[in-house]
Structure 1
Amino acid sequence: MKSIRLIIIALCVLTLTACASSRSAEIYTRDQARQAYVVQTGVVTDIRAVRIEGTKSPIGALGGAAIGSIAGGSVGGGRGSQVAAILGGIGGWILGATAEEAVTQRDGFELTVRLDSGRMIAVVQEADVAFRLGDRVRVLSQGGETRVRY
């Protein structure tokens, strides 16, 4: 029985991390592949560190509720076990939602770019590429999404 609980917990953790979406300039979704992008060039004029919030899907909450219910249901016996399962499920729901958001947060940059046209834009993306003030960059835009690349 304990091994089944451990397997369920491991699957829930894997599910949480698999659901994290990327805001990286280096990662494209399947839908973004084979699309035309508008490309502009410019210079990085400001870099500010930011934190990109994590996902808030029902998966973390439901996974937490399942784990909490299983853990609570294993306490005591009879009616006490049922109450513990309900309370464990509620606590797990809250903890699971909080854990999902925390696990999927990312460090990011707010990059301000003066485009060659003279226009200034700011783009927030994951901090997976190091930029410096004065760097010449390309700004790719398509379908409401923009990314800064070398």
Structure 2
Amino acid sequence: MKKIVTLAILATILSGCSNSDLYSGDVYTADQAKQVQQVSYGTVVSVRPVKIQANASSDGKSENVAGNLGGAVLGGVLGNTIGGGTGRVLAVATGAIGGAILGDTIQDKTSQASAVELEIKQENGSNIVIVQKGSAKDFFAGQAVRLVTNGKKISASPRYNNQSK
């Protein structure tokens, strides 16, 4: 029983290891430091709460190796405690498959970050949409924002009165 509890704790820890802070407008990566970035300004048109799936590739496919593997191992161990002979083999296989599916689902949910989709009207008149980590409480329609971009990535932050153009 100790092994099962230990495996469950390990699977939970591994599935929660994704760093979703990179998706906020407040965290810069090492390659963004000391780089020239462009600043522009705009006004929030709309705010919508969304989720960012941290462990999905650009084509939307999940990359839950730890969740799948941890769940399969845990399911296999649990299945091994049931029955004997052919029944045990069947229980191990069923437990491993069910555990992999459950582990994948758990890791998907624990790898999501709360985020906002911001539609912003830029000063040049064009509208853009930015998705970044944050809460709908952080932004509101009509709010002035500062946009920082390096040409590939962009982030929005509230524009305060002491920020000038």
What TM bracket, shorter-length normalisation? Answer: 0.7 to 0.9
Which of residues 135, 140, 163 is equivalent to 1:132?
140
Cα distance change, pair 99–132 in 1 and its aligned pair in 2 (3 A): same
Opposite residue 42 of structure 2, the aligned amino acid is: G
Cα distance change, pair 76–126 in 1 and its aligned pair in 2 (3 A): same
CA distance in 1 between partners of 2:76 and 2:17 (Å):
23
Cα distance change, pair 121–10 in 1 and its aligned pair in 2 (3 A): same
Quote how far apart the aligned CAs of 1:47 are: 1.3
| Number of matched pairs | 149
Q: Say whether 1:76 aligns with 2:75.
A: no
**RMSD between superposed Cα atoms in Å:** 2.1
CA distance in 2 between partners of 1:47 and 1:78 (Å):
58
TM-score (norm 2): 0.78
- Structure 1, unaligned runs of 5 or more: none
CA distance in 1 between partners of 2:30 and 2:86 (Å):
50
Give SS of 2:16's match.
Answer: helix
Aligned to 2:28: 28
Quote how far apart the aligned CAs of 1:42 are: 1.3
Cα distance change, pair 32–15 in 1 and its aligned pair in 2 (3 A): farther
TM-score (norm 1): 0.85
Cα distance change, pair 113–97 in 1 and its aligned pair in 2 (3 A): same
Deviations 1:117-141 (A, max 9, x none): 2222111122346112222211122
CA distance in 2 between partners of 1:20 and 1:65 (Å):
24
Quote how far apart the aligned CAs of 1:95 are: 1.1
- Structure 2, unaligned runs of 5 or more: 56-61, 159-165
Cα distance change, pair 78–142 in 1 and its aligned pair in 2 (3 A): farther
Give SS of 1:106's match.
Answer: strand
Q: Which moved more, 1:126-135 or 1:30-39?
A: 30-39
Which of residues 106, 113, 120 is equivalent to 1:99?
106
Quote how far apart the aligned CAs of 1:54 are: 5.2
Quote how far apart the aligned CAs of 1:32 are: 3.9
Paired residues of 2:53 and 2:111 also in contact (CA < 8 A)? yes
